[in-house]
Structure 1
Amino acid sequence: MLNSKYNKSLIAIGMAIVLNTSTGCKKYLDIENPSTISQAVAFTSTSYTNSALIGVYNQLCGDNGVTKEGTIWALSADDFKTSGSYSPQDRRGISMYGATYENSELLNGFNQLYSGIERANICIDGIKNSALYAEGSDSKALMGSYLGEALALRAHFYLSLVKNWGNVVAQWEPSSKVAVLDASVTAGPIILEHLLEDLKEAEQLVPWRTESPNPDTRFTKGAVKALRARIAMFRAGYMMNKETNMMERSSDYKKYYQVAYDECKELMNRRDQHSLNPSYENVFKSLHTSTRTDPTFELMFEVGAYGAGARTDTKLGYYNGLRINASSRFGQGGGGELAIPTYFYEFDQLGDCRRDVTIGSYEIDATSQKVMNTLNNMTDAKFRRSWTNMVGTTQNLAVNWPVIRFADVLLYFAEADNELNNGPTEEGKNALLEVRKRAFLGHEDRLPVMPDNYPDFFNAIVKERLLEFGAEGIRKYDLIRWNIMGAKFEETRTKLRQLMNGESVYANIPNYVYSKAAPYNVINANLEFATLDTYGGSPSVTLFQPGLGTSTAPSGYTTKNWRASLNEASITGTSTGFAVYFESNKKEVLPFHQTTLLQNTKTIQNYGY
């Protein structure tokens, strides 16, 4: 679990002892070589091995690390999209499912994933062949733990590749041991099978959090088991078949649901290691500062950011997150991701605390006050410059990225339980209820009705994961593994038109809202929302009733277009519409960048690009 600010210096040490991996390497596996220690020497010392392993962890970091997937490749879904107008060659092209093989966002992150795999391969091979890992060695247990971490890191990198490209080149040895440099791609399901076996081994090697000497910076048994459950869920789901160009799932898919079920159940029985944080908001505040507010270790695995540079830090809270004016007391932040307007109304009007943590319904102006956004200009808000200690002009805010948390374990368990039993058991219902109760804390009378049959429970899981994991880079891949992306996109467009026209469940939503600036107190997100100054009372009321219905604001207030901010161009327009270029059985995977195709001639472009 790589998550703490106070141990981030460990990674910097590892950067000084990254192994030489260039000999015999595929070009897209080549990595920068700052090595001063040979591979032959590195695994004769537990200290050197540890440093080499930290060099693998380091490939999670930076602008081309996990945040590339979370904030670029993972958009759009029915929660958020990228702001701005369509271009096939940048992040907006990915968000609208119209990226070309020249898209600038495809190559560097792809290469860094393979760089991480190559470093992990070297560590795995080096540890397995080290005398320190041989039977009878006093260092066997420690070296075994390092081996487990390397296997888990490699699994994480490969899962990201498979989620985004489907079939990719799979290499399980260091490049120096591979004779054929141009290799054909391997089917995604086969890669996931390999990873499940790797992690079965890894979870026997790494300690539980409370037994680990590095509980806040490294993979522990809980994190490995959660990752194995995630991979099993993807193996149980639909994936692109490169031969048929169709989204398909294997006939034995329930076998993988069983793997996920078993892993999650064991984790749920070890609440001394990980459990839900009592406060949803504090999960995300913990990502921003060295003051942790996650006493139950819900954050099972997160990637640290440090050093104010593109290789090790992130732009979380500057690129995305709550929009903050550059002249404010905080400095500039946010705006790179926009909430799909219907997403705001997926949450319960009064009871669900997650809405105001997840969605930036207001922005911070030049005078450091909060001002209502329009309905089509709300941002993601789990990343906020104002939650950090960083002020001024810096773009790197040392905000960590959450990879997997205990809420995922509970909802994976509930989903697997429903699949295996053709309907939920009490255990499955209780897992879903636990997540819901945290969301509706203090408003338990507004909890949704618990379904008791297979289709309704599945739909409840689909909805709950939408509400729980907004803007965490998860929703798109859930829709893909369920093979409902096309259907959900059509459903969202229908809802957007209904919202635009004030129809159906949106009949009472106002055309206009009237607001004035109010103090931004950097307090609890629900209280911050409640103290927005809107004409007619609390925004929990004014955003859910017709209001005056005129564009002329009452004295002292400013008109904010609400439903009036939507038009057909914002739904189906080729420049700013919602997922306009998506095509089922094509755009569930990204194109390979043209440079990748040139460097490995046996990699065939994904269908439809």
Structure 2
Amino acid sequence: MKKHRLLIAILSCTLTLSTVTSCDNFLDAENISNSNEEQQFDSTADTFTALIGVYNQVIGDDGYGQRISLYFPQSGDDFKTSGDYNCNDRRGLSTYGACTSNPDLNKPFLKLYSGIERANLVIKNIPLSKVMQSGSEADKKLMNRYLGEAYTLRALFYFDLIKNWGDVPMQMVPSSDLESVYLPKTDRDVIYDKIIADLETASNLVPWRSEANSSNTRITKAAVKGLRARIALARAGYSLRREPRIMAKGSNSQTYYQIAYDECKSIITEGQHGLNGNFEATFRALHDNTEDAAHEVIFAVGAFGGNAATDSKIGYYNGMRHGDGSNWKSSGGINAIATYFYEFSKYDVRRDITVASMQINDANQAILATGAVCTDGKFRKSWTGVTGTAQQLSIDWPLLRYSDILLMFAEADNELNGSPSAEAVNAVKQVRDRAYVGNLGQAGTIPTDKTGFFNYIVHERLLEFGGEGLRKYDLIRWNLLATKIAETKQKLTDLLNGTGQYSSVPSYLYYKASPYDRTKTAQAALQAIDVYVQPGTTREDVYYTPSVASTPTGYTRVNWRVAVTADYISSPLKGYAQYFEANRKELFPIYDDIILSNYNLKQDYGY
């Protein structure tokens, strides 16, 4: 028992970058010798306990349970955080106006480094353990699997740091092995190259899904390869550099496109994962911690325990809103940007799953939302069956899906060949055809020139991954964030004025509330709402037909196009991405206290 208490103390201390008093006191009171570390890794069971300590740093409020998955990725051209601007909370993050004192920047940064510290302990000690020296071949294989998982988790932690803060200190050994924990920043490309190499090692250590005997919340070979492809594309793409402070591409981009291509091709060829024929079912499975039929979700961040440390607020903070008086109270704290609904065609089955244009009132009835407060719909508390005021719902977060593998493969293929191969076109077509199931004739044609195909992928990823925390980072690596923010503001202005492509968008919608049945599909639940349909039109045309002059008898009017105001676009409190500055706000500042705790750190990027 003493041995396990010592490990917990070691793993709980985040010594990098900050001074944590409780950790200092512990180390002053008792010396943690190398022999104690060795004892923790003297069996596969004890080593697995240490590995679970690494996994636990992925989830929770300060990880993918809320802040990293739901706060940090806002805003691209799909979703934004609801509410009025405050530089010291999540709205400051969403509007690109976060202060250096914003507390939401603090704990995620420290949690990621805590995960790195834990991973470093595992990576150091597994090769030194007596199991690896004299254990059975089966135990050695298991230990190697644990080592591969630790490499992968460490790579994920560094990737999240780089995506949000750019250049950061690189620490690849436990803090106790460093001469000084006050590390300076390391160029992100150096870190990228290290973790890309580590992931190549890890892919040879972990099993494919069919060999793993575990759920999709444990890392498998496809998860390693998919993460390696994603990081390689980021390495090949643009990011905000320190000197000079501009968006610039990484060196040797073709090398990294080739890595992404090879890894995705390997996953596709192996055939262990596929596209679920039912788009919605992929997300429903996450609500009860099961796997979808096609194993489309390659890696999910598991949530459990009903607490802020190991569970998630997915489906409570974000997702379709349920009124405070309903059976399923949830806040709906992420809103679809009003133009996002119209990026989908009316034949695309993803629209009514991704964008929840309905909500549940206090009487457990389904009603229409206004055009300004539609929410992300892939996560819905009522899909869990959890009732009451509970905020931790144990909904898993889909970190990597097979559709991403197909689209990354196609993107890399196009970059390498100067135009898409037939394989690349087919990969995109698989994703597109699933979206238009039942209406394949409306799916359109996929371009086959390089620029046209790239632009098609840019838009297809917007539609496929809305609300999954990828869009802002995709736009950054393509150097399109500033462009898309400007385009979206112009589109919002056109929507406000009812001009251009929005000339037929109704000012109002009219509906009668209907009893909500949580077992219905997202589309069926929406269709169950009695919406007024003008003579000579169909239900599908409602969102594309100018509204009648007065409210029909028996119906309730809800603002649709007119919910978008000038304030929604550009006011200091409510405006979309109103504090964005190109070549500065692509990255967050580091929290003040972290800077003060390490004399080798400074803000950079104009903060």
- Using the alignment, how far apart are the partners of 1:193 and 1:29 within structure 2? 29
Tell me by how many angstroms 1:283 deviates. Answer: 0.9
* Amino acid of the structure 1 residue aligned with 2:380: R
Residues in 2 aligned to 1:214 and 1:284: alpha-carbon distance in whole angstroms: 19
* Rounded Cα–Cα distance in structure 1 between residues aligned with 2:453 and 2:14: 51
- Between the aligned partners of 2:326 and 2:296, the Cα distance in structure 1 is 33
1:18 to 8, 13, 17: 8
2:19 and 2:236 mapped to 1: Cα distance?
29
Give the AA of the match of 2:460: E
1:355 corresponds to which residue?
Answer: 351
Percent of aligned positions that are identical: 44
Instruction: Give 1:260-271 correspondences, 5 Å limit.
Output: 260-271=260-271
Alignment of 1:361-380 (within 5 A): 361-380=357-376
Alignment-mate amino acid for residue 487 of structure 1: T
How far, CA to CA, are the matches of 1:539 and 1:15 in structure 2? 62
CA contact (8 A) 1:320 1:335 kept: yes
Match of 2:92 in 1: 93
Report the CA distance between 1:267 and its aligned residue: 0.4
Question: 2-side partners of 1:70 and 1:29: how far apart?
Answer: 26
Whether the 8 Å contact between 1:375 and 1:563 is mirrored in structure 2 is: yes
Deviation for aligned residue 1:41: 0.4
Residues 366-406 of structure 1, C-alpha deviation per residue, up to 9 Å, x if partnerless? 11111111101111111111100211121111111111111
Q: How do 1:77-226 and structure 2 match up within 5 A?
A: 77-134=76-133, 138=137, 139-226=139-226
Partner of 1:387: 383
2:274 maps to a residue whose letter is S
Counterpart position of 1:9: none
2:74 corresponds to 1:75: yes
TM-fit CA distance, 1:608: 2.1
Which residue in the other structure is 1:399 paired with? 395
Structure 2: how far apart are the matches of 1:111 and 1:425?
Answer: 43
Q: Offset of 1:316 from its aligned partner? A: 1.1
Deviation readout 1:579-601 (Å, 9 max, x if unpaired): 01101110010000001101112
Q: 1:22 to 1:178 in 2, by over 3 A?
A: farther
Q: Deviations over 1:7-35 (max 9, x none)?
A: xxxxxxx9996362478933538698899
Structure 1 residue 558: Cα displacement: 1.3
Give the 3 Å change call, closer, same or farther, for CA 382–29 of structure 1 in structure 2: farther
Which of 478, 481, 486 does residue 477 from structure 2 map onto?
481
In structure 2, what is the equivalent of residue 419 of structure 1? 415
Partner of 1:524: 521
- In structure 2, the CA distance between the partners of 1:30 and 1:354, relative to structure 1 (3 Å rule), is farther
Residue in 1 that maps onto 2:314 = 316
| Other-structure match for 2:447 | 451
Equivalent-residue separation in structure 1 for 2:6 and 2:277 (angstroms)? 40
Distance change (3 Å), C-alpha of 1:323 and 1:405: same
Note if 1:585 corresponds to 2:575: no
Structure 2 equivalent of residue 574 of structure 1: 572
- Deviation per CA, 1:407-442: give whole Å up to 9, x if none: 110000011011111111100000000001111111
Q: Measure the CA separation in 2 of the matches of 1:586 and 1:228.
A: 27
More off after superposition, 554-563 vs 143-152: 554-563
RMSD: 2.0
Aligned residue type for 1:18: I
Contact 1:20 1:38 in 2 (8 A): no
Q: Distance in 1 between matches of 2:89 and 2:14?
A: 32
2:326 is the alignment partner of 1:344: no
Deviation string 1:320-376 (CA, Å, 9 cap, x unpaired) is 1100012222x2113200000100000011x11111111110110111111111101
Structure-1 residue corresponding to 2:488? 492
Is contact 1:65-1:112 (8 Å) kept?
Answer: yes
Aligned residue number for residue 11 of structure 1 = none
CA distance in 2, matches of 1:430, 1:530: 32
Shift in CA distance, 531/255, structure 1 to aligned 2, threshold 3 Å: same
| C-alpha separation in 1, matches of 2:239 and 2:406 | 23
Unaligned runs of 5+ in 1: 1-13
Q: Answer whether contact 1:86 1:93 (CA < 8 A) is retained.
A: yes
Distance (whole Å) between structure 2 residues aligned to residue 256 and residue 191 of structure 1: 14
1:287 aligned residue: 286
Distance 1:484 1:601 in 2: 34
Paired with 1:32 and 1:155, the residues of 2 have a C-alpha distance of 27
**Which of 247-256 and 105-114 deviates more?**
247-256
Alignment match, 1:509? 505
- Indicate the residue corresponding to 1:441 in structure 2: 437
Mapped to 1, the partners of 2:15 and 2:486 lie a distance apart of: 44
CA distance in 1, matches of 2:309, 2:219: 21
State the distance in 1 between where 2:146 and 2:591 align.
33
Q: Cα distance, 1:293 vs. partner?
A: 5.5
Matches of 1:23 and 1:335, distance apart in 2: 34
How far apart, in 1, do the equivalents of 2:506 and 2:359 lie? Answer: 20
Contact 1:318 1:334 in 2 (8 A): yes
TM-score normalised per structure 2: 0.94
Distance in 1 of aligned mates of 2:497 and 2:202:
54
Paired residue secondary structure (1:44): coil
Q: Secondary structure at the match of 2:604?
A: coil
Q: Distance in 1 between matches of 2:275 and 2:326?
A: 34
Structure 1 residues 310 and 430 mapped into 2: Cα distance closer, same or farther (>3 Å)? Answer: same
* Residue number in structure 2 paired with 1:335: 332
Quote the residue 2:463 is aligned against: 467
- CA–CA distance in structure 2, aligned partners of residues 490 and 212 of structure 1: 46
Task: Give distance in 2, aligned partners of 1:485 and 1:540.
Answer: 32
- Alignment size in residue pairs: 590
SS in 1 for 2:214: coil
Distance 1:394 1:22, change over 3 A: closer
Does structure 2 conserve the Cα–Cα contact (< 8 Å) formed by 1:29 and 1:114?
no
Q: CA deviation at 1:528?
A: 1.9
Aligned partner of 1:483: which letter? N
Looking at structure 2, the residues matched to 562 and 22 of structure 1 have their Cα atoms a distance apart, in angstroms, of 49
Tell me which moved more, 336-345 or 599-608: 599-608
Q: 1: CA distance between counterparts of 2:331 and 2:274?
A: 30
- C-alpha change, 1:27 and 1:515, in structure 2 (3 Å) is same
What CA distance in whole angstroms lies between the structure 2 residues aligned with 1:17 and 1:389? 37
Q: 8 Å contact 1:592–1:606 — kept in the other structure? A: no
Question: What CA deviation, in whole Å up to 9, does each residue of 1:284-304 have, x standing for no partner?
Answer: 1111114x3512111111111
Q: After the TM superposition, which of the residue ranges 480-489 and 441-450 deviates more from structure 2?
A: 441-450
Distance in 1, matches of 2:389 and 2:557, equals: 31
- Equivalent AA in structure 1 for residue 584 of structure 2: K
Partners of 1:234 and 1:133 lie apart in 2 by 35
Separation in structure 1 between the aligned mates of residue 232 and residue 254 of structure 2, nearest angstrom: 10
